[in-house]
Amino acid sequence: MKQFIDARGWECPKPIIETKKLLDTMREGTVITTVDDKLAVTNLVNFSESMGYQVTCTEKGDGVFDIEVTKTWSEDDDSVSGGGNIVIQITTNVYGSESEGLGENLMKAYIYALTEAAPLPKTLLFINKGVFLTTAGTTVLESLKSLEGAGVEILTCGACLNFYGLVDSLEIGGVTNMYSMVEKLHNAKNAVVI
């Protein structure tokens, strides 16, 4: 079975997310995603290869490419259980350190990508400058609301809110302390620190 996505004009990571969402609905099959951005080509090919999918890229002309991703099924696929207790600790309001503007955009894209991830994390912990992402003025509030609505626990460091004078500015989730964060990280099946 072949499915098609016209992702021309889409910014990353949307072409990857939509391709993955469609592949996740299939036991086996092919998704052909049309893109007009060389970065999207590279990202889709890298993503597909990292997932073990067969991938081919065909240039159609005028900067347009078809990325054909084929998912095959094996008995081993049914024995692998997805999910688990994933805890992500976010220690900054930017992703990376070279360019603040780029870092803000990357963090926004990362939080959005989490809304489309499978499985969703169990808990997001915000500490140090990460608390700016859960307080007034945040650009990621809609994505965080989506995650919270899907059952993701969102917790912000109380000492950090106090340090930055943001105690009354919390927009989403609850307040936590270092001991509770340590417990959640130690009990996690998978822990990620950003």
109 and 37 housed in the same domain: no
User: Which of 55, 77, 99 is the last residue before a domain boundary?
Assistant: 77
Q: What is the pLDDT of residue 146?
A: 93
73 and 90 housed in the same domain: no
34 and 93 housed in the same domain: no
Q: What is the pLDDT of residue 80?
A: 34
116 and 169 housed in the same domain: yes
Q: Which domain holds residue 169?
A: 86-193
Neighbours of 185 (CB within 10 A): 16
25 and 93 housed in the same domain: no
Mean pLDDT in runs of 10 for the chain (194 residues)? 91 85 88 89 83 89 93 56 74 83 90 89 94 94 93 92 94 88 86 89
128 CB-near residues (< 8 Å, 6+ apart)? 91, 92, 157, 160
Q: What is the pLDDT of residue 77?
A: 46
Q: What does the alpha-carbon distance between residue 30 and residue 143 come to, in Å, rounded to a whole number?
A: 29
66 and 151 housed in the same domain: no
Q: What are phi and psi of 11, to 5 degrees?
A: -90, 150
Q: What is the CATH number of the domain that holds 43?
A: 3.30.110.40
Domain count across the chain: 2
User: Which of 77, 99, 131 is the last residue before a domain boundary?
Assistant: 77
